Amino acid sequence: MATLNSLRIPVLFLFTLLLGTDAYFMHTQNECRFSSNDLHDLEYIQRYVFNKLEAIRYNSTLNKYIGYTALGVKNAERLNTDGSAEQRHANLDSYCRPNAKLVLTNILDKKNIPEPTIKIRSASHSSHKHTSMLVCSAYDFYPRGIKLTWLRDGKEVTHDVTSTEELADGNWFYQIHSHLEYTPKSGETISCRVEHASLPEGKEVKWDPNMSEVKRNKVIIGASGLVLGLIITIAGVVYYKKKSTGRILVPSS
């Protein structure tokens, strides 16, 4: 899956004019946008923004300036007819393409794509008595574009599967949860397969009904308690034996 989220390489030119106590803020923003590896959709955008208002935008796909304010519209008309648009268009190949290629070859290799953490858990489910529910979750992946598949004994399950959307965490990462409703059969294996740009071979995680993480922790804590108890008991018995033998060796008058 080689989908990349739309990328921008913004270069900001900032001007601040201080007049009295009010500040006026003018910035020009250059963006190279693409979401393909072959750059067929490469787009060069230049925005002129005054305070928070975008006044003019050059769009290489249209090869035109578009005005968004009265002054912007007036200037766009002029820039579209005096040869400025043509000149701007040259940036697509001279500025955006080489930079985008650098990003694709040096930055966006597999090491730079965060792999999801994958977890399977059972969820209590009350609507039917004889069915169980499993949830396969993938956390902290980027970019969007993930596929979760349930497998029962290696065969893809298409019935009774529901999934959430790819949910944005608000920090550029995403999470997703897929639910499988099923009637348990003894001896079968259930697994969740995850496909994402960060996992060239995909990744399969098996559900272990006997040893969920919580159960395993309980077993470890129980076993540790048992061992500790045994050590204390043995130490106590040894101590008691030594004490009682000592008394016999030194008889009181």
Helix (H) or strand (E) holding 129: none
CB 83 to ligand NAG: min, Å:
20
CB 30 to ligand NAG: min, Å:
12
Q: Which is nearer to ligand NAG, 42 or 199 (CB)?
A: 42
CB 45 to ligand NAG: min, Å:
5
**Percent composition of the chain: helix, strand, coil (DSSP 3-state, to 5):** 30, 40, 30
Rg of the chain in Å (alpha carbons): 33
Do the bridges between strand 22-33 and strand 43-50 make them parallel or antiparallel, or are there none, so unpaired?
antiparallel
**What angle (nearest 5°) sits at the alpha carbon of residue 21, between those of residues 17 and 25?**
30
CB 91 to ligand NAG: min, Å:
14
Subset of residues 32 to 71 that bind ligand NAG, contact rule: CB under 6 A:
43, 45, 59, 61-62
Position of minimal CB gap to ligand NAG: 59
The tokens for 42 are 């490469």
Q: Which is nearer to ligand NAG, 33 or 196 (CB)?
A: 33
DSSP assignment, residue 62?
T
CB 182 to ligand NAG: min, Å:
43
Distance, CA of 73 to CA of 93 (rounded, Å): 26
DSSP assignment, residue 69?
S
**Binding track, positions 128-167, relative to ligand NAG; x by CB under 6 A:** ----------------------------------------
Residues of this chain that interact with ligand NAG (CB under 6 A) are 43, 45, 59, 61-62
